[in-house]
A = this chain, B = another copy of it.
Amino acid sequence: MTEKKELILETALKLFAERGFDTTPTSMIAKEAGVSEGLIFRHFTNKEGLMDAILAMSEERMARHVKSIVALAEPLAKIHATIELPVKLFSEEREFWKLQFSLKWQKKYRGQSYRPSGYYLELVEVITDAFRQLGYAEPEKEVLLLVMLIDGLSNQLMQQPSEAFIEQTLSFLKSKYQLDKLKS
């Protein structure tokens, strides 16, 4: 992966996340990256190839996050980490996460990288089990609820990314799940 190719990828990721895929001309990506427009097509064939490269990159990053949650021993710790995942992603990989969320609403990419891929299903299974171990009556439904919460939290992060707000909300959420008892 040459330096300029990498640069194109990063720039495209940022612009797609900020402005959307089809309202971002390749000319703009080239200009922003300080690169000729033709180079984009030399490296990625076409605009969609560029998006696919970004998606592949993202998939890999997500899988890594999930793996680290699954690896935790305590069921409570798993739930704790899952709640914190959106915040973690937003602080570390804001642009990517934004892009993922926007893609859900674009028909073209619905079901591609978003659709329950391996890591997502694995996470659901693991969290269901965690709830079961903690003695929740309906673990499957609890997971559904948690997924909703996480989706909603991510939306909030998009609109209101103030540090104070995030911290407040997070601790409130954790208290709901009695996660404050957890030793960090």
Contact = CB atoms under 8 A, between A and B. Distances in A.
15 contacts: A20-B22, A20-B105, A23-B107, A98-B105, A102-B106, A104-B155, A104-B158, A105-B105, A145-B169, A145-B176, A148-B151, A148-B152, A148-B169, A150-B152, A152-B153
A138 B104 CA distance: 33
Interface residues of A, number: 32
A146 B85 CA distance: 19
A108 B148 contact: no
Copy count, this protein chain = 2
A147 interface: yes
A19 B107 CA distance: 6
Nearest to A111: B159
A90 interface: no
Given A18-B107, A20-B22, A172-B141, A149 B152 contact: yes
